[in-house]
Every structure is written in C-alpha cells, then in structure tokens.
Amino acid sequence: METFIVLLTGIFGATITFFINCYLAYGPVRASSIASLATALFFYAFPNLFPDFYTHTVPLVFIGGSFIGMVSYRVMKNVWLVPLSGLVFSFFYINSASFFSGYGGALGTAACISIIVVLGFYRILRLFKLKYKKQRSL
C-alpha cells in the first residue's frame, strides 16, 4: 500500500503542478511553490492523521513530482507524458532513495532524469512509428 501511495503522489504532484503552471498560467516556480506548500502545510498541520511513513515521505515525493510539473508545455507537448514522468520519478525514488542519501538536489536530479527518460522513449517510439509507416507505404 505504501508503494501505491508513493506512486500516486508522484503522479499527482507532477500533474497538478503542470496544470497550475501551463493552464492557469502561474508560471513554473509559483506553480511548484503553491502545490508543494499546500501539501507540506497539510501534513505539518495534521501530523497524527497518517502514519509516520506518509507524513515524512509524501511531501518529499510530491515536491519531486512538482519539479516535473515545472516543465514547459513546449517540451511536453503531449499532456499524458507529465503523469508518466511522475510515475517514473516515483519508481526512481522508491528504488534509489538510499543512493542519493546526503546528496543535495536529489529530488531535482531524479525529476530531470525522469523527464529525460520519458521524452527519450517517446521520441524513439515516434521514430519507429514513422519508419514503420514509410515501410508500409512502399
């Protein structure tokens, strides 16, 4: 259950920040700040509402996901790539959190890696799709 909550938090953090950033036109820094502050204040105001794991982990994962949501819609032209990047970030966070222990900027680095991975796979799939269409038209 904990893993599922972490995955949903990464997806939600990226998506809500992207929405505030691009569709409400607040800009990337304000969007990330608004969403992250609201989440952190909620868990700070109600620390006994959830188990300790969620109180400490969810705000961190949400902030990392919000870094993904700071991406421009010019870079992420397909909206579904943002939640997918949030999912990749969450998997990355779950599997490598101990690797980045003591390393400053770990959340931003993981968010950047997640965006690069998703965009890379997306572009590779587009290239294969174009190549396949050319072969079929011959």
Number of folded domains that form the chain:
1
- Hunting for tokens 């997806």 — which residue is that? 11
- pLDDT attached to residue 134: 74
Domain that holds residue 75: 2-137
Task: From residue 100, give the alpha-carbon distance in Å to each of 16, 41, 106.
Answer: 26, 25, 6
Contact 78, 84 (CB under 8 A): no
Global pTM reads 0.88
pLDDT by residue for the chain (138 residues), tens digit each?
899 999 999 999 999 999 999 999 999 999 999 999 999 999 999 999 999 999 999 999 999 999 999 999 899 889 999 999 999 999 999 988 676 666 678 889 899 999 999 999 999 998 988 787 777 766
